[in-house]
Structure 1
Amino acid sequence: MQLTTAQSSLIVLAIYLGFALLELAYTRLFAKDEQTRHDGILEVVSTLMLLVVTQPLILFTVGMIGHAVFPHYANALADIPFLAALALFLVFEDMMQYWWHRASHSFAWLYNLHRAHHNARYMSVRLVYRNNILYYAMMPSIWFAGILVYLGLGWFYAGYLVVKMAVIIGAHSDFAWDKPLYRIKALSPLMWVVERTISTPATHHAHHGRHLSDGAVHYKGNFGNLLFFWDVLFGTAKITRTYPVSYGVENLPLATLGQQLLWPIFPENKDMHADIPGATPARAATPHAIAAD
């Protein structure tokens, strides 16, 4: 059965709300350790901008350009086999996002567009869509997805998005679904495969860890979104089955609200000791507790 766009969106919303409810019950969804007054603003604004403005606008723009310049290619791939469609999306959408994400941690100017996602000193479903508004507008994978949809693969994209977002939402949540499974010896071979195939809380939390001295931290790797396999393939994987003690950005000046949402329109703060209202941690740092024991 093929999903419609509306059905796909509702399922993703249900997955998101499911993890949010688990966090609400077990890890204080709205009161994370070290959250600031800016965090909620960032998360609401960037989420709404992506889902309501940026992503629909990209899909509309690609379709408009396609019909104007390449009308004969509309729905050209609509009848290709499922596995062929899967391969196209994994390469042109998920692998492209891997490289975009990796580039964002390799070039300072691009990291400024991605800084908001890592500025949070906690893990949560709240971070899934948290990024600079321009970061998403420039993300190649969204544009490639738009092209594939124009070529007739919208039927596949709806289901693909459900699977991808389920993995991403689960990987960001601090209700770590993988932790209890690691303790079951009989599941060890299965989890060996799983953690090398898709992003899990353990592998993705490592990417968000604050201190390089923490053995569970690997913020210069573990870039995969749906497939962690790209990290394995391209040599950026670190698998420890452990979780960082704390999260956030190490040894950088505090970022202003404007910088996080709309750098370079709002300039980068370069003063390590700047007093930025709303950006000061609300409480002292405490060890980060992982749920789902």
Structure 2
Amino acid sequence: MNKYWDNILQSYSNYWGYFKREIFFQNDWDNYFWGLIIVSLVVWALEIAFPWRKNQKIFRKDFWMDTFYMFFNFFLLNLIVFIALTNTAALFFDDVLGLIGLELQDLQLFDVDTLPFGAGLLIFFLISDFVQWNTHRLLHRVPFLWNFHKVHHSTKEMAFAAQMRYHWVEPIVYKSLLYIPIAIIGGFDLSYVAIIHFTALTVGHLNHANIGWDYGPFKYIFNNPKMHIWHHSKELPEDHRYGVNFGLTLSLWDYIFGTSHVPHDGRDIELGFEGDENFPKDFVGQVTYPMSEKKE
């Protein structure tokens, strides 16, 4: 157990040093702190310049709470719990493999680092996005996980910061399920992670933004605001009672596997979920909801 405790302490120490380098511009182009701020300001400016819902205020309902969620989930959460848990889970997985006489490299099907940069990046992106698409479906289908995911669907007015309104348990689920597939391909360059991260961040902000774009013919490849608004619809189609349009960055998985649903312009549809009128409106109430006795 000592090595797990040491691993947690080392994770905190390493991340705190990394966090300070981010704040004071000591990291280069993969600066996630200022990258988040820049992407958020750009997408917010697009909302102001090209509003889809004209009557929605710039500082719309829950703007400040979603802004708090954005920084809490993106940085404070990582510092407090996520990095330590992720590293500890990886260590535990390695130990389990050791019990059966295997090492992580024994599971690797191929090494993307041996491929041309573009090919390796594409493979890494497709695998990670597909795993996350399936994880998103689980968040809707498994009642235990859905109680955590309700936090994200509690937004009643869509805007860019709504992307970051989610329960802190969600990234643990996403990263845990993504760990093995990514470990199997192995050898990926860390620049892949940064590129895909900023791509997903930008597309995710746009998907939730008050912008009526669908990207024309590219809507069948990339998720978009006019598609994602239906994912947040309070009224779901009878044949998809667990939800629709689960894509994070890519929409093509929904078109391939029959979970796409864009019946008409969804600009003014009601957002939320059944029973959301009883869902907590404050941050503490939302993050403690899955453990409360009052959940539906």
User: TM over 0.5: same fold?
Assistant: yes
Aligned length: 249
Identity of aligned residues (%): 20
Cα distance in 1 for partners of 2:213, 2:79 equals: 29
Match of 1:156 among 192, 206, 211: 192
176 and 7 in structure 1: CA distance in 2 versus 1, 3 angstrom threshold: farther
8 Å Cα contact 2:69/2:164 also seen in 1: no
Deviates more, 1:242-251 or 1:114-123: 242-251
Which residue of 2 is the match for residue 185 of structure 1?
none
Which residue of 2 is the match for residue 28 of structure 1?
57
Which residue of 2 is the match for residue 261 of structure 1?
287
SS of the equivalent of 2:220 reads coil
Which residue of 2 is the match for residue 126 of structure 1?
161
More helix by share: 2
Deviation of the 1:146 alpha carbon: 6.9
* Stretches of structure 2 lacking an aligned partner (at least 5 in a row): 1-25
Deviation of the 1:48 alpha carbon: 3.9
105 and 113 in structure 1: CA distance in 2 versus 1, 3 angstrom threshold: same
Deviates more, 1:64-73 or 1:81-90: 64-73
Cα distance in 2 for partners of 1:250, 1:265 equals: 19
8 Å Cα contact 2:66/2:164 also seen in 1: no
Cα distance in 2 for partners of 1:147, 1:53 equals: 25
* 1:129-278 map, 5 Å: 129-139=164-174, 140=176, 143=179, 147=183, 151-178=187-214, 191=216, 193-212=217-236, 220-240=243-263, 242-245=265-268, 246-252=270-276, 254-256=278-280, 257=282, 258=284, 260-270=286-296
Cα distance in 1 for partners of 2:212, 2:123 equals: 29
Give the structure-1-normalised TM-score.
Answer: 0.69
Deviations, residues 174-225 of structure 1 (Å, cap 9, x unaligned): 13334xx7xxxxxxxxx1x311111000100111122348xxx997110001
CA RMSD of aligned residues (A): 3.7
Deviates more, 1:104-113 or 1:115-124: 104-113
Does residue 99 of the first structure (1) align with residue 99 of the second (2)? no
Deviations, residues 108-130 of structure 1 (Å, cap 9, x unaligned): 21110100000010111111121
SS of the equivalent of 1:115 reads helix
SS of the equivalent of 1:78 reads helix
Deviation of the 1:147 alpha carbon: 4.0
Cα distance in 2 for partners of 1:177, 1:108 equals: 32
Cα distance in 2 for partners of 1:130, 1:255 equals: 14
8 Å Cα contact 1:209/1:248 also seen in 2: yes
Deviations, residues 206-255 of structure 1 (Å, cap 9, x unaligned): 11122348xxx997110001110000111101134511422112335522
Deviation of the 1:12 alpha carbon: 4.5
8 Å Cα contact 2:111/2:188 also seen in 1: yes
8 Å Cα contact 2:70/2:164 also seen in 1: yes
8 Å Cα contact 1:19/1:169 also seen in 2: yes
Does residue 113 of the first structure (1) align with residue 142 of the second (2)? no
Give the structure-2-normalised TM-score.
Answer: 0.68
